Amino acid sequence: MSHIAASYLFRDLSLFCLFSEVPPVFSCRYLQMQLHLKPKPNHSFFIASSSSLPRASTMASTSLGPPTLISHCSSSRKVPKFRFRLVSGHDGFGRRVRFPSLRRFRIHCVSKEKEVCILESSSPSGDAALRSNEWKAVPDIWRSSAEKYGDKVALIDPYHDPPLKLTYKQLEQEILDFAEGLRVVGVKADEKIALFADNSCRWLVSDQGIMATGAVNVVRGSRSSVEELLQIYRHSESVALVVDNLEFFNRIADTFTSKASLRFLILLWGEKSSLATQGMQIPVYTYTEIQNLGQERRAKLSGSNDTRKSVYDSINSDDTAAIMYTSGTTGNPKGVMLTHRNLLHQIKHLSAYVPAQAGDRFLSMLPSWHAYERACEYFIFTCGVEQMYTSIRFLKDDLKRYQPHYLISVPLVYETLYSGIQKQISTSSAARKFLALTLIKISLVYMEMKRIYEGMCLTKEQKPPMYIVSLVDYLRARVVAALLWPLHMLAKSLIYKKIHSSIGISKAGISGGGSLPIHIDKFFEAIGVILQNGYGLTETSPVVCARTLSCNVLGSAGHPMHGTEFKIVDPETNNVLPPGSKGIVKVRGPQIMKGYYKNPSTTKQVLNESGWFNTGDTGWIAPHHSTGRSRRCGGLIVLEGRAKDTIVLSTGENVEPLEIEEAAMRSRLIEQIVVIGQDQRRLGAIIIPNKEEAEKVDPETSKQSKEKLKSLVYQELRKWTSECSFQVGPVLIVEEPFTIDNGLMTPTMKIRRDKVVAKYKDEINQLYN
């Protein structure tokens, strides 16, 4: 006798996330299913639902409990196919969750002995012929998108000559032509092609063209040093080079022609007549020439049976797609091997966090070759969005011009926007300044009360509060919020509306590459601009968790991505720690890298045989509470910084510098800061002051000595860090800012602590002596 067991679909949570297309709700305890059955006489089936889901403790992913029989009908004939859909459920915090827009699925007959379901998705009308579950390699997405979105604009690249605008059909054809052109000049599967260029339409076409041939692209930006680029090229065993423009290649030409082996060179922008190719015995092609070669070959193949389908389909999901060298804040770059499967996992599941729709506008300014930007770009192009390339230089103008629905960026950019808004307020008339600052403070309090009664305040406490205490806390927050609500709405109409019109970002700002300072998080929440923070590393493709719109808890990095597991371990014993306990963050999932290229020993240090990757970050998992202001925070991931960044004082005390730095950055007088003090008796800091703001505070600052400026900055530092666990002692004031060009920042605008400390080593010694 055969049986249908609907619950078997949900025996494993990752399978549930896969087919329900909702964010990973590992904290979900109860599910209700509505089954649409048309049983015929003599059919046999039973419907089962899961029992309570065990609460996640140290793991942020778990499995459902055994099925419980609800109803049963007996017969003797074969079981029919039937459809079902999830209707609603209750999460682990008492909230009712509805799933109104899920697809329906067909469940085939299963054997009671095997307890296995074979599912077939019912694709909605309008889907591309190639569905996401059929993607084997990253370039597969372009076939789907071209068929689905066709003549919709995909890319706008306004700052290159000529400016470009490509539709989805045009973009797919450009990629196919470039890939075929590469085959014409001799590129074969598994060969390494170095792509050293910055954001542009042609970067994306080159990136995907290389992947479509089955080759591996080795990417880096043009702002890296010549020595670093040479090291990457040689270590990766690249055979050819694709470069951005004339100026860039002329900068690296002497080094590469004498120390690297190049089969050919491709120039994305400009004419090759101006290249410094004297003495070079290698072919040089322009982007247009490669495209033309590809078009000609494809035209010839279109009339024959050889359409290169066999070559394209020969790419395996577990083949290496790209080698990405980590810039990192410490150490030398390591080549991270990411497979097509790694990247496709991101593409398929980022929609749980960013519900992008066709026609949405995305503003892109991060390096396209960086893992974070790269994964986001691949994903959004499966949604039919319109992406505009910009840069720091044009960001302010482009936010006004394009009014993007989403901005993909890093915390520093949102800090810059925050500073710009604060500066605009400070230059207003006294009355307007007072009104704006007062209303913003009211909105901050209102949103804090709202977080309390909604149960979205983080805590490390494992024991939930008493019910009566929670009730009083809830009622107090409700009353205060109700009183402040009219003033908050007044602020929206008088102030925040103008801010929104100047920065766009009508749906959400997506932040990654570092934690958002809490004051930035709170400010944008207060003015009604949604910021979603995520977490990951190059080694994890990169996203492993992120904040969803429905559970956007400030200070957290959100819930784990589909199929991803987290655990927190003791750095010394490697024992798993309970929720609320701080330790080393380890993750496991389909997005974890293949390994470091030609570096098995380092790979083994961070990636064990069970698939657990040591992130090197410290953090904790929020405990589950059924009541209180943290009742919706259970299972959230909270990061507290890099383990390597921890400063150990000579007294034996461990200090996390990030807490102090984030607090200090709230001051308008402090442009940049690095907290120091390893093996010293007390903490110190290297500070880049904002001289313009210092002169506003004290006009005599520019005329006084450096000591006057140092005294003013130190007062500000003490003011803003007074509530931190540790206080800063000696301060070193320096004038040269930390930038990407001088090597003191990564391409994602994170300060390289080791480089800063090394540069000012002598000054630091004098500071403490």
The least confident of 42-56, 320-334, 624-638, 746-760 is: 42-56
Q: What is the pLDDT of residue 331?
A: 53
Give 680-704 pLDDT, tens digit per residue: 888 999 999 988 887 776 666 555 5
DSSP 707-768: HHHHHHHHHHHHHHTTTSSS-EEEEEE-SSPP-TTTTSB-TTS-B-HHHHHHHTHHHHHHHH
Mean confidence (pLDDT) of the chain: 81
Spans of all domains in the chain = 6-121, 160-315, 417-592+608-642, 647-768
Tell me the β-bridge partners of 421.
none
Q: What is the pLDDT of residue 305?
A: 59
Report which of residues 55 and 669 the model is more confident about: 669
Give 474-490 pLDDT, tens digit per residue: 999 999 999 999 999 99
Report which of residues 627 and 743 the model is more confident about: 627
The least confident of 195-204, 409-418, 742-751 is: 742-751
Q: What is the band of 176 on the pLDDT scale with cuts at 50, 70, 90? A: very high
Report which of residues 543 and 103 the model is more confident about: 543
Give 542-592 pLDDT, tens digit per residue: 999 999 999 999 999 999 999 999 999 999 899 999 999 999 999 999 999
Report how far residue 455's alpha carbon sits from residue 478's, in angstroms, rounded to the nearest whole number: 12
Q: What is the pLDDT of residue 722?
A: 87
pTM to 2 decimal places: 0.76
What's the token pair of residue 473? Answer: 């806390």
Residue 188 has pLDDT above 90, yes or no: yes
Query: CA 703 → CA 462, 691, 697, 698, 707, distances in Å?
Result: 55, 12, 13, 10, 11
Residue 310 has pLDDT above 70, yes or no: no
Residue 398 has pLDDT above 70, yes or no: yes
Residue 76 has pLDDT above 70, yes or no: no
Report how far residue 687's alpha carbon sits from residue 710's, in angstroms, rounded to the nearest whole number: 9
- 562 C-beta neighbours (distance < 10 Å), count: 25
Q: Which CATH class is domain 647-768?
A: alpha beta
CA angle 729, 731, 734 (to 5 degrees): 170
Q: What is the pLDDT of residue 131?
A: 65
Q: What is the pLDDT of residue 41?
A: 41
Q: Which CATH class is domain 160-315?
A: alpha beta
Residue 421 has pLDDT above 50, yes or no: yes
Report which of residues 361 and 572 the model is more confident about: 361
Report how far residue 93's alpha carbon sits from residue 627's, in angstroms, rounded to the nearest whole number: 8
Residue 541 has pLDDT above 80, yes or no: yes
Residue 152 has pLDDT above 80, yes or no: yes
Provide long-range contacts, Cβ within 8 A and 24+ apart, for 761-768: 763/732, 763/734, 764/676, 764/684, 764/686, 764/732, 767/684, 767/730, 767/731, 767/732, 768/680, 768/684, 768/730
160-315 against 647-768: fold identical? no
Handedness of CA 80, 86, 92, 95 (dihedral sign): negative
Report how far residue 157's alpha carbon sits from residue 199's, in angstroms, rounded to the nearest whole number: 9
Non-local (6+) Cβ contacts of 42 within 8 A are: 75, 76, 77
Q: What is the band of 746 on the pLDDT scale with cuts at 50, 70, 90? A: confident
DSSP state of 272: G
Q: What is the band of 75 on the pLDDT scale with cuts at 50, 70, 90? A: very low
Q: What is the pLDDT of residue 269?
A: 94
Question: What is the number of alpha carbons within 13 Å of residue 676 lying toward its C-beta?
Answer: 26
Report how far residue 667's alpha carbon sits from residue 517's, in angstroms, rounded to the nearest whole number: 13
Q: What is the pLDDT of residue 90?
A: 38
The correct CATH number of 417-592+608-642 out of 2.30.38.10, 3.40.190.10, 3.10.250.10, 2.60.40.1120 is: 2.30.38.10
Q: What is the pLDDT of residue 681?
A: 83
